[in-house]
Chain A
Amino acid sequence: MPSQLLALVKLHWGLKSITSNGVVIATEKKLPSILVDETSVQKIQILTPNIGVVYSGMGPDSRVLVRKSRKQAEQYNLLYKEPIPVTQLVRETAAVMQEFTQSGGVRPFGVSLLVAGYDDKGPQLYQVDPSGSYFSWKASAMGKNVSNAKTFLEKRYTDDMELEDAIHTAILTLKEGFEGQISGKNIEIGVIEADRTFRVLTAAQIEDYLQEVE
């Protein structure tokens, strides 16, 4: 069973890191051909105004999970008139993923998720695996080049990093294993700060950060 799960997770990758005042998630956006309209592809998705997610693996599977998670978050909001805490949403999403490892006639989800959010407990990061287990991280990477990326993060990560440093670190980590020329069009970056609003950076904003990193 474990080897089957690994085979389902394709070789795209994403990474994230937490700072004292926010969270950054980033991923490479590898398109099958230069003819593809890159603006139509978005790997980083918003789940609630204060929680975002990026995946590594099968895109269609991630879309199903995003849809389910959004509904769960909104149901919580309808009941309690309060935004769902990050831990609760992660737990419920993980429960769905676990369900698909134990039910008949279905296969596990071929994605690992990185959930980034900011709630009353502060900035938080979670990784959720196809098995349904979830882990809280200060900084993590997954997918292609994961071991190199993690080593790089271990060296670079500090607890009192500022958000700008984190974005630079994320870009540098992605650059390590990047094939070809990195640009605002083939990576995606999502950011959440103390304003508790998750936003995906535009290509232009990413280009600015790329230039700072050079």
Chain B
Amino acid sequence: MSIFEYNGSALVAMVGKNCFAIASDRRLGVQLQTIATDFQRIFKIHDKLFLGLSGLGSDAQTLHQRLVFRHKLYQLREERDMKPETFASLVSAMLYEKRFGPYFCQPVIAGLGEDDKPFICTMDSIGAKELAKDFVVAGTASESLYGACESMFKPDMDHEELFETISQALISSVDRDCLSGWGGHVYIVTPTEVTERILKGRMD
């Protein structure tokens, strides 16, 4: 059994018109047993930058703590927030440092860059970056998520339509995956506000 499937996870990020959405499931399991139904997989780095970490829960938490540490020091030194592209490069470098003993995580990075242009990317557990213009997915439900996003996604959706789309894509995909689910956590980020919503789906 793969270590990436030990805890179960589902992550998706989508680009809209001057906004982005990032969503995750809420289950934390130990193989077949469900341990928690409120597990946090998406973390705020700063008001316009969010990081989602799928895969092993322990590595997700540790990596998040280390990245927050690096970002705080960056903020103190450079007196500004990190741009999403820069943050993605940092995550990639940190993951590759552990090339022969990696973090078992697949990150999803979503943020608003220069002029509030939405930026999303994902990478594998050793830091191979993949930029996308529309959506990125990660986790045990990723195959279903690819299908759902591909069919439901439209470019330039406003934040309300984006919320509907990403929620539908997430719920329908985790329902096909026994290791992820128990609701959803959706963040919609525009240049002026961040909206956090909890989804209720099939609680199994």
A171 to B90, CA, bound (A): 43
A36 to chain B, nearest CB (A): 42
Contact assessment for B86 and A80 in the assembled complex, using a CB-CB cutoff below 8 Å: yes
* Size of interface on A: residues with Cβ below 8 Å to B: 9
How far apart sit A78 and B83, CA to CA, in the bound complex (Å)? 16
Chain B count of residues within 8 A CB distance of the other chain: 8
Name the one of B77, B78, B89 contacting A81, with C-beta atoms under 8 angstroms: B89
A82 within 8 A of B: yes
B85 at the interface (CB under 8 A from A): yes
Residue of A with least CB distance to B79: A87
A79 adjacent to chain B (CB < 8 Å): yes
Q: Would you call A133 an interface residue if the criterion is a C-beta within 8 Å of the partner chain's C-beta atoms?
A: no
Q: Which of B85, B86, B93 contacts A78 (CB 8 A)?
A: B93
Question: From A77, which residue of chain B is reached at the shortest CB distance?
Answer: B89
Chain B residue at minimal CB-CB distance from A120? B80
18 inter-chain pairs at a CB distance below 8 angstroms, sorted by A residue, are A78-B93, A79-B89, A79-B90, A80-B86, A80-B89, A80-B90, A81-B85, A81-B86, A81-B89, A82-B83, A82-B85, A82-B86, A82-B89, A85-B78, A87-B78, A88-B77, A88-B78, A91-B77
Using a CB–CB cutoff of 8 Å, the interface residues on chain A facing chain B are 78-82, 85, 87-88, 91
A79-B89, A81-B85, A81-B86 given. 15 additional CB < 8 A pairs? A78-B93, A79-B90, A79-B93, A80-B86, A80-B90, A81-B89, A82-B83, A82-B85, A82-B86, A82-B89, A85-B78, A87-B78, A88-B77, A88-B78, A91-B77
